[in-house]
DNA sequence: CTGTATCCTATATGATACTG
DNA sequence: CAGTATCATATAGGATACAG
């Protein structure tokens, strides 16, 4: 019965690993930016509505229109998360009805700049990846390549 | 009832936006690397088991041990996705039992290098983000700060 | 205008058992 | 060793209705 074996040991190693992942800066950052609307919002607030200008404060409704597919729930939720991280600020003006504007912070802007690298890589290698996928698919016989 | 209004227009704009996102290189790339084990695998294959060396081919079981928490399903699934994208290669040696080794490609290595930027940013700003979160939480009264 | 509250679905991930 | 197949679960994301 001295069965402190296999399953238990694996379970412990897994717990330790999850604990490590929970504090790993890179991993946390990846989770932070992985949300469907995170980069879109940072991009809108960091480069303006046309994605070619500079940072500019925007209102809730303006963001809602710009990110055409976003639900109110996700827009609010994502903005709150960004605000909590200090990547954007939220300013309420007590007009009637109330006016709220969101603005990217310096920290948020630095992240936005950082992500440009990813954008460059993505655009440079999209074709190559697509070709690899196509080759893999025909070789594996996935689609109607019969 | 010429009711081509509100809801319908929004639905169309949303469909168009989703179509745009589906082909946007940056967004596709972000989805690609967002998997829980993607960066971990690229890192293992790109920097060796100790994360300090150079690229080295590794076997399925070796990766399984290194990424202590991963399930067989997710390990296989993630490796296949990476292989399909041309980020890693899979080599089968017909010994008995069979031997399979995975190796990062040049393309995968270039992505791995790219992600170093994210790592640097993450490690440089972890404390700042944590401080922002703490400030936000106490200001909002979320935790037991009453 | 700027949200909140509720309910619902899809997808990612995981546990377990089995195989060449 | 290196998986596949199946079942189960958690979470992200979304639709809808309502409110200050």
- Give yes or no for A85 touching B (CB within 8 A): yes
A146 has a pLDDT exceeding 50: no
pLDDT above 90: percentage of residues in chain B: 79
A35 has a pLDDT exceeding 50: yes
Question: A40-44, A60-64, B8-12, B97-101: which range is least confident on average?
Answer: B8-12
Q: Residues with Cβ < 8 Å from A28, sequence gap 6 or more?
A: A22, B122, B126
DSSP state of A87: S
pLDDT tens profile B106-117:
999 999 999 999
d(CA A64, CA A96): 20
A65 has a pLDDT exceeding 80: yes
DSSP state of A56: -
pLDDT tens profile A81-138:
999 999 999 999 999 999 999 999 999 999 999 999 999 999 999 999 999 999 999 9
Residue predicted with more confidence, B87 or A142: B87
pTM above 0.85, yes or no: yes
Instruction: Sketch out chain B's domains with CATH numbers.
Output: 17-137 (1.10.10.10)
- Smallest CA–C1' distance to D4, residue: B73
H-type alpha helices, B24-105: 25-33, 38-47, 60-66, 72-85
Beta bridge partners of A59: A101
A114 three-class SS: helix
Q: Which of A102, A120, A117, A90 is nearest to A55 (CA)?
A: A102
What is the pLDDT confidence band of residue B146, given thresholds at 50, 70 and 90?
very low
- Give yes or no for B84 touching A (CB within 8 A): yes
Which of A 17-36 lie inside 8 A of B, CB atoms?
17-18, 21, 25-30, 33-34
Interchain contact, B114 vs A121, CB within 8 Å: yes
Q: Residues with Cβ < 8 Å from B52, sequence gap 6 or more?
A: none
B99 three-class SS: strand
For chain B, the distance separating the N- and C-terminal CA atoms, rounded to the nearest angstrom, is 56
């Amino acid at each position: 019965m001295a069965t402190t074996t296999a399953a238990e040991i694996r379970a412990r190693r897994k717990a330790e690993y999850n604990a490590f992942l929970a504090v790993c800066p890179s991993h946390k950052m990846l989770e932070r930016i992985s949300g469907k609307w995170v980069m879109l919002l940072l991009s809108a607030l960091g480069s303006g509505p046309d994605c070619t200008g500079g940072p500019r404060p925007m209102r809730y409704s303006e963001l809602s229109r710009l990110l055409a597919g976003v639900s109110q729930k996700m827009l609010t939720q994502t903005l709150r998360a960004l605000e909590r991280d200090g990547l954007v600020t939220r300013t309420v003006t007590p007009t009637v009805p109330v006016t709220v504007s969101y603005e990217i912070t310096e920290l948020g802007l630095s992240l936005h700049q950082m992500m440009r690298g990813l954008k460059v890589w993505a655009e440079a290698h999209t074709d190559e990846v697509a070709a690899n996928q196509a080759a893999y698919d025909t070789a594996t016989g996935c689609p109607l390549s019969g």
